Amino acid sequence: MGSPMGSFLDLVSDRNLESDSEESQSGSTQVEEDLALLDVMVSAARKSGAKNFNHKRQKTSATASPGSSTPGSDESRADDEEEGLVAKAQYVETLENMWAKKREFETFKEDRKKERHDQIMELENRKIELKEKDLELRQRIQDSAVMSMDISGMSERQQKYLLSLQDEIFARRFGAGSG
């Protein structure tokens, strides 16, 4: 297409390819710029499109007779309306393509966002599992230290305390007390 909209689409496509290679933050900034540029182009096209469709052009050719395409004649109006309809159809098609690309990109962006969220949740769950295993390991180390203490040199009160701790450890591990 030789139209401004065609060059705009090429520009947006090139920028989208660049943003895909750069990654998320700079890509989203580029998309915002492209969308702002798109809005400006759409509003400009609407304004100029409304003006251009109302202008009538006289058809000139070497073989045309002077009366065949005079401004204001039915044939001239039909040609101008046909040209206007073709231009309008191309304009609508271009806009539809741009919006389809925008929707596709937004879907792609949402999918990437969901994937990152899923990865973060997976890492958080893994982190919680590791913390639980770490706490369990620390508890086993403490339990082992309590179970292997020599209570023969301790006072009666300390011996009772350690024996009660050992009973709790047995109950927690085996589901029943020792005594």
DSSP notation for 45-113? HHHHHHHHHH-------SS--TTTT-TTSHHHHHHHHHHHHHHHHHHHHHHHHHHHHHHHHHHHHHHHH
Residue type, 39: D
Kindly state the average pLDDT of the residues 37-47.
Answer: 73
Among 9-18, 31-40, 94-103, 125-134, which stretch is predicted with the lowest mean pLDDT? 9-18
Is residue 78 scored above 90 in pLDDT?
no
Kindly state the average pLDDT of the residues 154-170.
Answer: 93
Distance (Å, rounded) from C-alpha 79 to C-alpha 52? 14
Among 80-89, 107-116, 163-172, which stretch is predicted with the lowest mean pLDDT? 80-89
CA neighbours closer than 13 Å in the CB half-sphere of residue 147: 12
Retrieve residue 91's tokens: 């304009």
Residue type, 54: N
pLDDT category of residue 2 using cuts at 50, 70 and 90: low
Structural contact between residues 16 and 34, judged by C-beta atoms closer than 8 angstroms: yes
Retrieve residue 25's tokens: 């933050």
Is residue 26 scored above 50 in pLDDT?
yes
Per-residue DSSP letter, 176: S
Residue 71's Cα: distance from chain center in Å? 53
What is the model's pLDDT at position 74? 66
Is residue 179 scored above 50 in pLDDT?
no
> Could you report how far apart the first and last alpha carbons of the chain are, in Å?
92
What is the model's pLDDT at position 109? 95
Kindly state the average pLDDT of the residues 139-162.
Answer: 92
> What does the mean pLDDT of the chain come to?
77
